[in-house]
Amino acid sequence: MKTKLKMIIKHYAQVFYLFITNRKVKRIKVHVLEWLDKVNGNSYFAGEVIVYRKNQIHNYLLPFQYGYGEQYLYEAQKLLIEKEIMSPNCSTPLWRYCEENKIVLDTYKKENCLKRDLKNF
């Protein structure tokens, strides 16, 4: 019984935290460039996360790092948690978080870029 009550309290604390911290966020854009290292077969990406609030725009960089597929979305979510835009207890994917909080999520990944483009981002 106590564990169930603790879980309910934790859930409502998370909902309240999200309501207080993100009620002004309107849109999140995640734009990345991807480079494929043909010699080793690894892919890397770099990009930016742009957060649109009511009267402000915040721009955060995703540094050059290893990752393929939708890894850039997980890294963007970690960045948003680090910048306290998302709750540290949030375990849902970024797309679901945006859907639940009525935030528009735009993602764009440009593939087959040059390594120098990612390094200069």
- More reliable by pLDDT, 115 or 21: 115
Break the chain into its structural domains and give their ranges.
Answer: 2-119
Each residue of 30-87: pLDDT tens digit? 999 999 999 999 999 999 999 999 888 999 999 999 999 999 999 999 999 999 888 8
Give residue 106's pLDDT: 96
pLDDT at residue number 118: 86
Q: Map residue 79 onto helix, strand or coil.
A: helix
CA distance 30 to 101: 17
Burial 55-77 (b: 16+ CB within 10 A, else e): eeeeebebebeebeeebbbebbb
Question: CA–CA separation, 77 vs 88, rounded Å?
Answer: 10
Q: Calculate mean pLDDT across residues 90-117.
A: 91
- Greater pLDDT, 43 or 21: 43
Structure pTM?
Answer: 0.77
Q: How far is it, in rounded angstroms, from Cα 50 to Cα 87? A: 17
Instruction: Return the DSSP state at 6.
Output: H
HSE-up of 94 (CA within 13 Å, CB side)? 22
Please give the average per-residue pLDDT across 16-21, as a whole number.
58
* pLDDT at residue 91, rounded to an integer: 83
Whether the pLDDT of residue 2 is over 70: the answer is: no
Which residues, at least 6 apart from 29, have a Cβ–Cβ distance to it below 8 Å? 48, 49, 50, 52, 105, 106, 107, 108
